[in-house]
Structure 1
Amino acid sequence: MPEFIYNHKVYYNPVEFAMDQIGGTWKMPILWRLKDKVLRFSEFKKTMPKITDKMLTTQLRELEKNGFINRKVYPVVPPKVEYTITEKGLRAIPIIDAIRIYGQGLMKEAGITVE
């Protein structure tokens, strides 16, 4: 496949492009948590305690910009913001599930057990 440019970045194949969209440490876990419910920022923090506020904000903004999630701000005091997964985000869930299953198999082969 020939290289292509998207948003001023050169990509060499569709896997690289997809991983840029949903890869990294936090984007797939964010999408996974949104697959069945609406979440607020504080709810992400409770289930992902190792992520910093800045990193969570950055990842949420990127996922929103790329059309994987929606952000809804309610005009109340204090501000209420909810995140939901889009149809595009839902299409990523089977991929994430396959990667999770593959990762669990690799962990088992390596003798890694997690409670």
Structure 2
Amino acid sequence: MADTEECRAALEQLSRNMSGADGKVRTAAALDRSLSCWLTDLDLTFTGVLRGGRIQDLDETPGAPAHRAEIRLAMASDDLVALVGGRLNFASAWAGGRVRLEAGFRDLLRLRTLL
């Protein structure tokens, strides 16, 4: 199980990856939406804002998300680290139920470019 600092580092790396992207990926990441990532095994939620192609205002709180973010992720801590590190394919993890992604229909259409 990954610890809190490894998960924070993974989310910060994801933010850097998105900000350095170009083309369709950059367009898809350019949403302005609230974001939550609940790490089920740690029972810890990271929240922030996806703005300008980066995750900003990243904060952590114990437990499941207290508020419903516009883009919601849920997964185990090891899966987050593996996804960002390129060792786990997002589409396969999502289809297999290892990762949950919830968002509005239009956001899901835009985010599919990131998958």
Q: Name which structure has the greater RCO, CA cutoff 8 Å, separation 6+.
A: 2
Structure of higher CA gyration radius:
1
Normalized per residue, the structure richer in strand is 2
> Which range, TM-score by smaller chain?
under 0.3
TM-score normalized with structure 2 length: 0.26
Normalized per residue, the structure richer in helix is 1
